[in-house]
Structure 1
Amino acid sequence: MTDSLKPVSLTRESTTSVVLLATTPACRLSCADGTLLDRLNGQLAELSVLDVQVVSPSDGLGGLSADLRGIAKIARVAPGPVVVLPADLVAHTDALALLLEHPARDTSALVSYDATAAPMRPPVRVESGKVVAAGSSFHLVPEANATFRGVLQARETDLTALADVAEELAELAEMGKLGPVTTVEAVDLLLVGLVRSGVVVRAASIGQLHCDRVTGQVSADNALGRLADVDESRVRLDSAVKSSDGFFSTYFVSSWTRYLIRPAAALKLTPNAVTGISIGLAVLSSIWFAAGNRPAQLAGAVLLYLSFCLDCLDGQLARYTRMFSPLGAWIDSMADRLKEYVVYVGLAFGYAAGLPLSEGGPDGIWYLAVAAMILQTVRHSINYAFGAAAKDAGRIGVPGGKPATPLHESADGGRYAVPPQGVLRLARRMEREKVLWWLKKMIVLPIGERMALIAITAGVYNARVTFIALLGWGGVATLYLLAGRIARSAR
């Protein structure tokens, strides 16, 4: 049976629907907000949710198969992403927001890198931020390195796959081909089915937050106590800072801009406003660079550094306040290119000292500036073109949403991905060694390292050294990117 509960007040517009599985007695356990079901519905009202569909027990009829068919029915008519979660869940609101308010609205699952599996914490294996194997009481996972915490989201384009998987699981359950699985494992089985069908599932790590399913009043009280032991505001601040940023951004920018996030939020600054200020500083930096003398070069370098710091802050503020929008992401991306190229022009003007553009300036400075712009444009094109092509290939490659691995096969008969070979194996090894991991991130000349390179070489030396350094390092980065893209395509 399915009921529809509208959250009392929605803070943001959304098309995300939630399927709340109130099919176990534990969801009626008491807490300060009434029952766990009441508490969870109150949390959803604070997040970006269109509506909440509550799947209740079917009077003892149907059980698991009936619940799965109910989920399939909702998935087929939902206007946007669908989140499935059990109502016996005790979680931080920010843990739920990792899925419900992620700007990508992608197919994802809440996981913890605490790999200690339990009946309500099935094992999963995560590689490169994706769930590549998922388990249940019937499906084993070799080399598990995390556990699934019961919250699953399917993006709009994967809803057909979710519905197909749910219906196939329902049929297998009715035929007794899923072994001793029960109603409590409905969401676990859905994750298994999506992963085995070839759907890409992002692993959203809860980090220091908590998200646990409970079975009785004692375990519910303990779980609620664990929530109180965590400073959710501090964790939210920590989460606003990228954990996998570049070396320069991590140690020379985010190490102090994190302390500006709360003041910026208190001043009600929007991420787009911070982006605007960042653009303004970059333009001022270019003007100082155009002056061409040493004090002006140093001033331009300082302004460029501050501009980049604000460029990091706008993303941190967006994650902290959950103010995401496609327009904001586009503006931020375009602003990065605009600021960089404006600075190139300022540097070339300052070095050319007013000579005509047609003459190329002293030492061919204008030719070097144009070459640096072209190289950066090519590098960005390689990244974006490959990402778009990989998305298209992923959509085409899933055979109608039907599972590539039979859902009734246990781990003994399951299929596993072939380990990466050659270049990709070396890349995976580099990810495990911290020094090599940082080297791998720096070699591609990310924007943080690029801004640092420009500021230091322009402030200490001159624009010609800046452009030669950009072309040299950028050329190596381009070859590295091409080799990586070719290796991934070959796999």
Structure 2
Amino acid sequence: MPDSLTRESTTTSVVLLATTPACRLSSGDGTLLDRLHDQLATLSVREVMVVSAGGGLGADLRGVAKIARTTTGAVVVLPADLVAHTEALALLLEHPARGTGALVAHDASASPMRPPVRVEGGRIVAAGSSFHLVPEANATFRGVLQAGEADLGSLADVAEELAELADAGRLGPVTPVEAVDLLLVGLVRSGVAVRAAGLGSLHADRVTGQNAADAAVVKLAEVDEARVKLDTSVKQDDGFFATFFVSTWTRHLVKPAVRLKLAPNTVTGISAGLALLAAVWFSAGTEAGRLAGAVLVYLSFALDCLDGQLARYTRTFSPIGAWADGMSDRLKEYAVYIGLAFGFGGTDIWYLAVAAMIAQVVRHAIDYTYEAAVADAARIGAMWGRPARSLLESHDATRSPGGVLKFAQRLERDTIARWLKKIIVLPIGERMALIAVTAAVWNARVTFLSLLCWGGVAALYQLAGRIARSAR
């Protein structure tokens, strides 16, 4: 029976697999198992269940299956021989979606304790073990696997199937060391969407001996974890303008905002207020009014970035906050359109303003309907849309992307091309910059025409990409 430590206020349960001798290695005043226990106590964990060695791989997997079938909320499975930064664990345990994901390092230096995986588009599409091979691997799994509540049934089914195959010796000489690796393989091959949580500069390594454990702990101390936490509060895949002209300085406001006890929703509200003031200045129709409005638009967008950074830093996520942030973006942008149209005057400008609004609505509809379709496919695709791959196939037969998608992924590896792709799609940062510059230097007519022309190109680019992905 597993030991457990309970904290009822959160929704994530952790299964610690203390099934290898390495988990009893010394670390500080205790063992590696004790160290992990202490780290988990600082995170949003409801219950920690320790599965001890004794029954072999099959028994360990059945223990995971039993827990998956009887618990609610997300379940994290990790080996107790893991030496990791607390922030590395938080990449999964503190993620607001509480969805299915795995901790990976984006390198291809696979080893018995670092099984290979292939990551495409932020998801793990192929995973390996000593029995399962991965063609074209581009990352390694680092031992921490989280199953979202919606995927607990799949986790239980996979664990039970693996237990039967392992007991029958049909997976080769696999051992209890590979329990979590096999679970990842099973989830991926069953069609579950597994998010790849990248380690970045953080560390997470499984160890086999005392020297390796000591070296891994020393390696952790070489990283400034507090700085990494601040760095990771900045959105990693943001647009060009947000990355280089806003986040470079708003990141320094995160800690002062924490000291002032500002909530992310409060910052969102201030951002909306600045945008409304910008609309008022634009409506004056004067050169000074357009310049003041442009500055306020920029500051409003800066605070829009800051509220997300503050939420990620403090991990104070909420559905209402995400909804308010998204709605605020739309309302701020359209309020600015109205202010610009009032300030320019005349009937014709309103046609352009309405056309710009409709263009943005259509673009957002393309994005959100596609994302909704992807989410639906993720929920039901394992049943009919994406046939499960057999766990008895040692070589993963998943095809690597071809054609347009393969070319796009090659471009993604090129820094200049990657930033050009981000600029082309005209994200909100680029839109706010376009509005501010054209309104301050020229007038509202130039602003709306620029939005329509660039927005049209962006819509066609996004539509072509959606079609290519869907066709695959």
The TM-score, its normalising length taken from structure 1, stands at 0.93
The answer to whether the aligner puts 1:437 opposite 2:437 as a matched pair is no
Kept in 2: contact 1:160–1:401 (CA 8 A):
no
Cα deviation digits, residues 205-242 of structure 1 (max 9, x gap):
11111111111222111111111111000111111112
CA distance in 1, matches of 2:456, 2:270: 31
The answer to whether the aligner puts 1:38 opposite 2:34 as a matched pair is yes
Q: Which region of structure 1 is more displaced relative to structure 2, 396-405 or 194-203? A: 396-405
1:266-345 equivalence runs, <5 A:
266-345=259-338
Cα deviation digits, residues 426-478 of structure 1 (max 9, x gap):
32232122222111111111000000000000011111110111111111111
Cα deviation digits, residues 370-402 of structure 1 (max 9, x gap):
111111111111101111111112222212899
Shift of 1:328: 0.9
Query: Of 16, 20, 25, which residue of structure 1 is paired with 2:21?
Result: 25
CA distance in 1, matches of 2:226, 2:400: 41
Kept in 2: contact 1:112–1:207 (CA 8 A):
yes
The answer to whether the aligner puts 1:196 opposite 2:192 as a matched pair is no
Q: Partner of 1:404 in structure 2? A: 388
CA distance in 2, matches of 1:478, 1:154: 35
Kept in 1: contact 2:341–2:353 (CA 8 A):
yes
CA distance in 1, matches of 2:235, 2:59: 41
Kept in 1: contact 2:377–2:385 (CA 8 A):
no
Percent pairwise identity: 71
Kept in 2: contact 1:165–1:403 (CA 8 A):
no
CA distance in 2, matches of 1:401, 1:218: 48
Q: Partner of 1:3 in structure 2? A: 3
Q: Partner of 1:469 in structure 2? A: 450
1:50-449 equivalence runs, <5 A:
50-58=46-54, 62-352=55-345, 361-362=346-347, 364-399=348-383, 404-411=388-395, 414-421=396-403, 423-449=404-430
CA distance in 2, matches of 1:373, 1:339: 12
Shift of 1:42: 1.3
CA distance in 2, matches of 1:402, 1:379: 28
Secondary structure of the structure 1 residue equivalent to 2:307: helix
**Residues 403 and 34 of structure 1: CA distance in aligned 2, closer, same or farther (over 3 Å):** farther
Kept in 2: contact 1:165–1:402 (CA 8 A):
no
Cα deviation digits, residues 325-369 of structure 1 (max 9, x gap):
1111111111100100111111111111xxxxxxxx25x011111
The answer to whether the aligner puts 1:481 opposite 2:462 as a matched pair is yes
Shift of 1:53: 1.4
**Residues 113 and 160 of structure 1: CA distance in aligned 2, closer, same or farther (over 3 Å):** same
Secondary structure of the structure 1 residue equivalent to 2:383: coil
**Residues 454 and 180 of structure 1: CA distance in aligned 2, closer, same or farther (over 3 Å):** same
CA distance in 2, matches of 1:152, 1:72: 14
Shift of 1:418: 4.8
CA distance in 1, matches of 2:179, 2:297: 53
Secondary structure of the structure 2 residue equivalent to 1:398: helix
| Equivalent residue letter for 1:40 | L
Kept in 2: contact 1:99–1:153 (CA 8 A):
yes
Q: Partner of 1:355 in structure 2? A: none
Shift of 1:14: 2.1
Kept in 1: contact 2:240–2:423 (CA 8 A):
yes
| Equivalent residue letter for 1:41 | H
How many equivalent residue pairs?
A: 472
Kept in 2: contact 1:424–1:487 (CA 8 A):
yes
Shift of 1:97: 0.3
CA distance in 1, matches of 2:237, 2:378: 25
Shift of 1:409: 1.8
Secondary structure of the structure 2 residue equivalent to 1:399: helix
Secondary structure of the structure 1 residue equivalent to 2:406: helix
Kept in 2: contact 1:444–1:477 (CA 8 A):
yes
Secondary structure of the structure 1 residue equivalent to 2:125: strand
Q: Which region of structure 1 is more displaced relative to structure 2, 221-230 or 454-463? A: 221-230
Kept in 2: contact 1:161–1:401 (CA 8 A):
no
| Equivalent residue letter for 2:429 | G
The TM-score, its normalising length taken from structure 2, stands at 0.97
Q: Partner of 1:356 in structure 2? A: none
